[in-house]
């Protein structure tokens, strides 16, 4: 106790310091430190963090969206090497056996002529299409991975408030509802046969009040007001606003370029461009700078490409995704990339639109035939006189086609247009239309079984009703018979009472009865 008190006393005495001034002059000094400055920087977003490959250096599982190395020309190595360049992490861990069966086989058969130089002569460029409309149809839809990613909207604060107010209005369920998950009653970009693209184009034409030669020269405020116009006639979950805006602007870039390019080429003023604005735009197109840029793009589109001729296709304004959806609906089954390629690269008479498309088709046909022959040889049974012809799955057919076509220096496959967004590590993902078709097929089959069961139940119910009617009729007959028996019993009882009365009161009746009995 004494030690604790002593220690406390010592601490108390040491805390006090002698003051050079009297107590009335002991003021609190004013702090010289500047006031704290509020941090106006936004919180760190996903992009502020290091890439997954740096964060997870010791992980054995490759991140899904890890940065890929710079691609190499496709024809520089065998097809096995080409596959490993585009999908090395995925193939080495999950699908190595399949690649060894198909891609190695194709590497031993046929490759497109000049494939070693295809990387240098086939750069992926918006100018590689034959028409502006074709450019729009080729790349109007983005990667399907974006459909399930959260994207922050980039609208200004005022326009964001307007969009949120629109989305919160009652009765919005009557409008066209957008959802990448395609719930019943919803639609999405690239899954509606171009309806949303046409609506976006109509908004541009109704609000075209400036020399908007391309999307980059459109003021940001005008771009956002176009999006607000789109939000007035469409609805979606507020969490999807960023993704919807991204899709809207991506389609807007391509469609605005397409419709303005058509006007520049034809030099016919459409009714959605006023005369004064039209003269201003024509004057710009007649400048030397604009003519030089147009000539450069035209030369790139019409390049000979080492004897293969200009790149062409006949999809028109339809995207390859839309054409695939139409084929799925027409054939009633999922389709392969080769079927879409043939549909978009052949004329009505069956000939190909250009030499490059014909070469890819021939290489694909030879590779597929060789693969089928190998499968037939592997599955041949000497004990059977006839065996069923082997067939390739859709995935195997797609893989052979991808290994048979050209690729540019960035690894983009030639001839599949916007369907390249359905490739993951060089392999095809099933499109939403195919998934919907499979689901619809399952629903139709379930509905058919339900109808069959309902018909059987109806027959059984009819038989039960007939049996019940028959039982009711039998019961009615039994009840009538019982009533008759009861009536007869009552009559017999009445006759018995009468007989007793007659015997008791009339001797002659007794004699009469006795005489009749003896007579019988």
HEC letters along 110-132: CCCCCCCCHHHHCCCCHHHCCCH
> Which tops the pLDDT comparison, 427 or 359?
359
Kindly report the length of the chain: 520
Asked if residue 343 has pLDDT above 70, the reply is yes
Asked if residue 39 has pLDDT above 50, the reply is no
Q: What is the mean pLDDT of residues 322-326?
A: 81
Per domain, the residue ranges of the chain are 123-304, 312-379+390-429, 440-494
Q: What is the mean pLDDT of residues 357-385?
A: 81
Instruction: Determine contact, residues 443/347, Cβ cutoff 8 Å.
Output: no
Phi, psi of 357 (to 5 degrees): -65, -40
Structure tokens at 180: 């990448």
Asked if residue 516 has pLDDT above 50, the reply is yes
What pLDDT, on the 0 to 100 scale, is given for residue 84? 39
Asked if residue 81 has pLDDT above 50, the reply is no
Q: For residue 89, give every residue at least 6 positions away whose Cβ sits within 8 Å of its Cβ, in sequence order, or none.
A: 62, 66, 425
Provide the percentage of residues in the chain whose pLDDT is more than 90. 29
Q: 10 Å Cβ neighbour count for 84?
A: 18
Instruction: Assign 276 a pLDDT band (cuts: 50, 70, 90).
Output: very high
d(CA 468, CA 266): 81
- Which among 42, 43, 40, 67 is positioned nearest to 53, based on CA atoms? 67
d(CA 323, CA 158): 39
Instruction: Assign 91 a pLDDT band (cuts: 50, 70, 90).
Output: very low
- Give the model confidence (pLDDT) of 99-149 as tens digits: 445 555 555 556 665 454 444 334 333 333 444 444 444 444 444 455 567
Q: DSSP letters of 243-290?
A: HHHHHHHHHHHHHHHHHHHHHHHH----TTS-HHHHHHHHHHHTSHHH
> Which tops the pLDDT comparison, 510 or 21?
510
DSSP letter at 68?
P
d(CA 514, CA 520): 10
What is the reported pTM?
A: 0.49
Find where tokens 């699908």 sit: 95
- Give the model confidence (pLDDT) of 420-469 as tens digits: 666 655 565 654 445 555 566 677 778 788 988 999 999 999 999 999 99
- Which among 91, 68, 67 is positioned nearest to 81, based on CA atoms? 91
Q: What is the mean pLDDT of residues 241-270?
A: 93
Instruction: Assign 371 a pLDDT band (cuts: 50, 70, 90).
Output: confident
Instruction: Determine contact, residues 312/138, Cβ cutoff 8 Å.
Output: no
Q: 10 Å Cβ neighbour count for 94?
A: 12
118 bridge partner residues: none
Q: Which of 37-41, 394-398, 440-444, 515-519 has the lowest mean pLDDT?
A: 37-41
HSE (CB half, 13 Å, CA atoms) of 38? 2
Phi, psi of 352 (to 5 degrees): -85, 155
């Amino acid at each position: 106790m004494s030690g604790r008190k002593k220690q406390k006393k010592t601490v108390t005495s040491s805390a006090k310091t002698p003051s050079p001034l009297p107590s009335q002059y002991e003021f609190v000094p004013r702090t010289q430190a500047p006031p704290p400055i509020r941090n106006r920087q936004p919180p760190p977003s996903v992009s502020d963090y290091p890439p997954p490959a740096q964060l997870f250096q010791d992980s054995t599982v490759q991140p899904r969206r890890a940065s890929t190395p710079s691609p190499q020309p496709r024809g520089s190595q065998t097809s096995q090497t080409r596959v490993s360049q585009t999908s090395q992490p995925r193939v080495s861990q999950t699908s190595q056996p399949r690649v060894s069966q198909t891609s190695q086989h194709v590497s031993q058969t046929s490759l497109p002529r000049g494939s070693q130089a295809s990387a240098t002569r086939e750069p992926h460029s918006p100018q590689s299409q034959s028409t502006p409309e074709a450019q729009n149809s080729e790349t109007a839809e983005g990667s399907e991975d974006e459909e399930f990613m959260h994207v922050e909207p980039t609208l200004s604060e005022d326009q964001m408030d307007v969009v949120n107010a629109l989305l919160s209005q009652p009765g919005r369920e009557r409008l066209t509802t957008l959802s990448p998950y395609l719930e019943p009653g919803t639609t999405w970009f690239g899954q509606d046969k171009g309806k949303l693209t046409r609506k976006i184009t109509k908004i541009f034409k109704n609000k075209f009040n400036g020399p908007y030669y391309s999307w980059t020269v459109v003021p940001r405020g005008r771009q956002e007001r176009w999006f607000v116009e789109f939000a007035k006639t469409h609805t979606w979950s507020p969490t999807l606003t960023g993704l919807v805006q991204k899709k809207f602007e991506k389609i807007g870039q391509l469609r605005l370029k397409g419709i303005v390019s058509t006007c520049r080429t034809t030099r016919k003023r459409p009714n959605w461009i006023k005369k004064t604005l039209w003269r201003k735009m024509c004057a710009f197109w007649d400048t030397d700078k604009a003519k030089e840029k147009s000539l450069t793009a035209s030369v790139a589109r019409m390049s000979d490409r080492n004897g293969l001729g200009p790149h062409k296709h006949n999809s028109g304004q339809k995207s390859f995704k839309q054409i695939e959806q139409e084929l799925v609906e027409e054939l009633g089954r999922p389709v392969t990339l080769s079927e879409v390629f043939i549909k978009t690269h052949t004329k009505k008479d069956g000939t190909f639109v250009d030499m490059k498309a014909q070469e890819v088709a021939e290489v694909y046909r030879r590779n597929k035939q060789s693969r089928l022959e190998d499968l037939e040889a592997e599955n041949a049974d000497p004990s059977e006189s006839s065996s069923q012809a082997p067939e390739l799955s859709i995935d195997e057919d797609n893989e052979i086609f991808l290994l048979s076509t050209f690729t540019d220096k960035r690894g983009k496959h030639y001839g599949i247009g916007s369907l390249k967004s359905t490739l993951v590590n060089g392999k095809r993902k099933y499109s939403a239309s195919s998934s919907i078709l499979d689901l619809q097929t399952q629903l139709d089959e379930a509905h058919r079984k339900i109808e069959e069961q309902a018909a059987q139940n109806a027959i059984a119910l009819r038989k039960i009703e007939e049996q019940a009617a028959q039982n009711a009729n039998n019961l009615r007959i039994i009840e009538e018979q019982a009533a008759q028996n009861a009536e007869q019993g009552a009559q017999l009882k009445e006759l018995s009472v009468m007989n007793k009365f007659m015997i008791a009161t009339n001797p002659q009746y007794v004699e009469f009865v006795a005489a009749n009995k003896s007579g019988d």
